[in-house]
Amino acid sequence: MRSKQQIVELLLNPGVIAVVRAKRADQAVPLAEALVAGGVIAVEITMTTPNAIAAIREASAKLGDRALIGVGTVLDEATCLAAIEAGAQFIVSPICRRELVPIAHKAGLPIMLGAYTPTEAQLAHEAGSDFIKIFPADGLGVNYIKALRAPLPHLKIVPTGGVDLKTISEFLKAGCVAVGAGSSLISKEILEKDDWATLTKTAAAFVQAARSSR
């Protein structure tokens, strides 16, 4: 059983969190295997994945010692509790749902609340969120992150949306502690074809880009 601090350290190294919106629950395990083979060990299975809780349970059971299986798109307490019971090791919400923080912390797990504005980001931080998910980041860009961190340098920011192999270095050099990568890492084509070999290569490229930016 990993401690919260151990989980946090693994999320930050190499600092690439795969945002998984699979088409089928049975894709979760081979998809996670492919990511881990490429060096991406943080796998956020979103609740938009069909039968997401079952997928989290299976992936956690089969890869829990080699990967961090987390849950994303958590919007309420019941979902948070169900995911934790299924073995999720970190919690991510796209919104500033502050009541999720004590649930995650009681279970000894880190949590990432979503924010778009400086006020939302600071409120999430004050609520105890371990990380701040700036989402969607594609319309904001790196300059927004720099501007946000100027008065709020204590925020541990993880941008999601707009992070790809061209921008990952810019986000990390701007002070982000990690990044969330969805379709730029796990493309529609990969999911349609179950092309896990390509996913492993793409994951390795993301890891290399992240490490070279530190």
How far apart, in whole angstroms, are the C-alpha atoms of residue 66 and residue 2?
Answer: 12
pLDDT tens per residue, range 174-189: 999 999 999 999 999 9
Protein fold of 4-212:
TIM Barrel (3.20.20)
Mean pLDDT computed over every residue of the chain: 97
How far apart, in whole angstroms, are the C-alpha atoms of residue 214 and residue 178?
Answer: 11
Question: What pLDDT score does 104 carry?
Answer: 98
Across residues 72-97, what is the average pLDDT? Answer: 98
pLDDT tens per residue, range 122-137: 999 999 999 999 999 9
Residues tagged active-site: 44, 133
Residue 99: pLDDT over 90: yes
pLDDT tens per residue, range 13-68: 999 999 999 999 999 999 999 999 999 999 999 999 999 999 999 999 999 899 99
How far apart, in whole angstroms, are the C-alpha atoms of residue 82 and residue 139?
Answer: 32
Query: What does the block give as tokens for 23?
Result: 């088409």
pTM of the model: 0.97
Q: How confident is the model at residue 139 (pLDDT cuts 50, 70, 90)?
A: confident
Question: What pLDDT score does 32 carry?
Answer: 98
